[in-house]
Structure 1
Amino acid sequence: MKVCFLANTGWYLQNFRANTLRAFVEAGHDVVVLCPKGSGEENLSVAGVRCETFRLDNAGTNPFVELGSLIELAGVIRRIRPDCLYSFNPKTNLYGLLASRLLGVRCIPNVSGVGSAALLRGLTGWIYSALVKVAYRRAEFLFFQNEEDREVFGELGLADSTNSLRLPGSGVDLERFSPDAENAEGHGEPVRFLMASRLIYPKGVVEYLRAAKSVVARYTNVECLLAGVPDGSDRAVPLDVIRSYCSEDSQVRFLGHVEEMSDVLTGVTAVVLPSSYPEGVPRSLLEGLAAGKLIVTTDRPGCRDALDEGVNGFFVQEQSVDSLVSAMEKVLALDEHELRAMSRFSRQKAETGFDESAVIEAYLMRATPC
């Protein structure tokens, strides 16, 4: 059968769904991926997968431009004529559902957090909410990455136990991400913190940089790394702001875009994500778990799924530099025995709760109509 995967960037499909695409090809399906033009589709490298593109501004809100994107997407889906469409990310979920409803195509979205559009107010916010209710009500099945989002959709009458399933986030490749020798032997110096995310304010980028500056001013055995790419939205943290905190020869460094995150995680002690953003289950935290890293994050839906307080890391308050500094200092105060124990717990948590193979199996099972 012909299966289409729709996402808001080609980069997302290559970095987060490549193993799923391979599994569908190996199962004998005709696989097509669909993403916006200029979103990293040139880097898609899964053998046997065809790529189609359309125009979409992921941060756009102009109703006429958005309608044009929806119409173009519907035209591409009509030409592809998939038997099943899997969609990801809030905006492409919504547009994929609307287009599929018009065309009579089976569509199964993955709700990975409600996204920034859910924070819209006024007429635009009302229109978005109305479209969500119309679109998701006709979804054949819904995948959720955390239970809180599933409950919200349940309260709206859009999801229940018969038409939805909570997945372990997007899952994580336990072979690609695994503890390094430094984890096994005990963390040496320096202690390294890593934040890897979209460079937008709601992810806590500035709070992390400010906390990093505070910590390195008091400790010599610490490094703070930031990885990510510029964001084109009005929520983006300007690069000159980031660079004002970082330099190549300092204890606070900006890595920019990272092609292979598993290499960067080698030697890292803790993965940090002080997010106040509507998350699914953040991929950076899952990769950190699989690599046996400590977790420092907020007690938000999705984020909290990766952390047992005091067992494999520490919670921080949203938008609080002081709380983040305190958590980072707790990591610095741990002895080798405590670090090894927390590292082992993170890896075990990934193995028992977030194996990507369970996600892939769920997708393969849903490809055939019930």
Structure 2
Amino acid sequence: MTVPVNPTANAVTQPVEAAQGDAEAEAPSAAALVHIADALASALSSSREVIDLVVTTFAAGGHLLLEDVPGVGKTTLARAMGQAIGGRARRIQFTPDLLPSDLTGVSIYSRDSHEFEFHPGPLFANIVIADEINRANPKTQSAMLEAMSEGQISVDGNTHTLPNPYLVIATQNPIELEGTYPLPEAQLDRFMTCSSFGYPSAKAEAAMLTATDWSNPLERVAQICSAEEAGRLRDAVRTVVIADAVADYIVALTRATRIREDVRYGASPRASLHLAAMARARAFINGRDYVLPDDVQTLAVPVLAHRLVLDDAGFGSSDLEHARQIIADIVSSTPVPRA
């Protein structure tokens, strides 16, 4: 997925207010999201396509699953995202002995107030990095479901609202399967998109070796907007219009996954909603208030592929590659609505 950048846009070090003008009441501008993508690109050696997917997923109000090998910059990406929106980022290293309360927080009795006081866990942040999420046991994994789908958690019968905006970036290591627990389909369905960084290009990797600037790459990431402004951007994305013909096209793609002979379970209705949300976000970033079929085609693979349960499903990256090819075949064979 490629989001075109306005060549006249300001440098990423300039605040988004300059692009939006002095009027605070002015409608949120898509330029802010382009600036955020530029800021992430200044600190990372990954492809712009992946960075754009992260920003689009954030704008759509979803969560992202990254399947990748260690050491390619996944954690740096999440921290840079939190820094760019002026929000708080927390990292959770998932292990087999992690408990649900280690994520949500606990209520502790206070001798001073003679009441139980809630101490929030690491889920209470704008950007949550769930590192190697498949190493946690199913009970702990399930603690993420309420947070991801409802923006809240429940502890001791009390409901606590999570910060807004809220984005979970979870990672899985596809090459180490021992001691891991495959994510259940219900949890995979909560992730709006799934992708991988891949290795940097040979030129980018060589540049890292010869660089003389050993400063923290996060120091190059400027704050583009506040968390409140980022939340308003998300609200603006929801106003993008999807025509009936494009909505029918989205449904045709997801329904096609349910009748494939090599697919045991196809994409759910939630997948249709997520694909529509991502298409709206891409249209907004491209300066449109309406969705084109091209938006849907570009995003179909990262939105739909990880939700498929194949007939010969195992547990490994090859299954995901097979699912991606299935979605690509469906996109190429499904009639595109005329403008």
Q: If the length of structure 1 is used for normalisation, what is the TM-score?
A: 0.24
User: Which protein, 1 or 2, shows the higher relative CO under an 8 Å CA cutoff with sep ≥ 6?
Assistant: 2
Q: If the length of structure 2 is used for normalisation, what is the TM-score?
A: 0.25
